[in-house]
Amino acid sequence: MIPRLIVLSVTILGLAGCAGQPDGMTRALEYTPVAHDVEVGGEAWRVLEHPGNDARGGKIMTTPNLGAAAGIGVAQGLTLGLADVAPAKDTHEAAARRRLDATGRAACRIVAGYELIKVQFEFVYVCDAAAPARPDQAPTPKRSSKA
């Protein structure tokens, strides 16, 4: 009886901090599993690009670094989800903005953002026609012709 109670308690604690949108996990799994690092407020963040992004815009998913995300999950699990220690939406949006700015998409506008699952947000952005479709298509900086 005691071992079952322990397993049940650990399971409940582990799942308590995993709230988010009902289809959040499915949508998070749509992203290309290559994280790009950005810094916000002295903290490392990971940003993932949606494979459907094009020159008109797309989606970006943000999450704190792995250590911070794990710590948030543990804190929320131990308090049965009562402690809200997750970073604010504004901080996630700042990470998305940093990624756009660093990849030649500074002119793109973030038009929506929402939590997919705890510690992961998705942001929708739109661009004018001059923005690169994907970060790997960003123009290379021009070198000065001065000799």
- At residue 33, the pLDDT reads 82
Cα–Cα distance measured from residue 7 to residue 5, given in angstroms and rounded to the nearest whole number: 6
Residue 15 reports pLDDT greater than 80: no
Residue 121 reports pLDDT greater than 90: yes
Contact yes or no for 123/60 (Cβ under 8 A): yes
pLDDT band for 136, please (50, 70, 90 cuts): low
- At residue 26, the pLDDT reads 75
Contact yes or no for 125/111 (Cβ under 8 A): yes
pLDDT band for 5, please (50, 70, 90 cuts): very low
Residue 145 reports pLDDT greater than 70: no
Please give the order of strands across the beta sheet that includes 120-126. Answer: 36-40, 43-49, 57-64, 120-126, 109-117
Cα–Cα distance measured from residue 42 to residue 22, given in angstroms and rounded to the nearest whole number: 32
- At residue 14, the pLDDT reads 39
Residue 119 backbone zone (phi > 0: left; psi -120 to 50: alpha; other: beta): left
Residue 119 reports pLDDT greater than 90: no
Residue 57 reports pLDDT greater than 70: yes
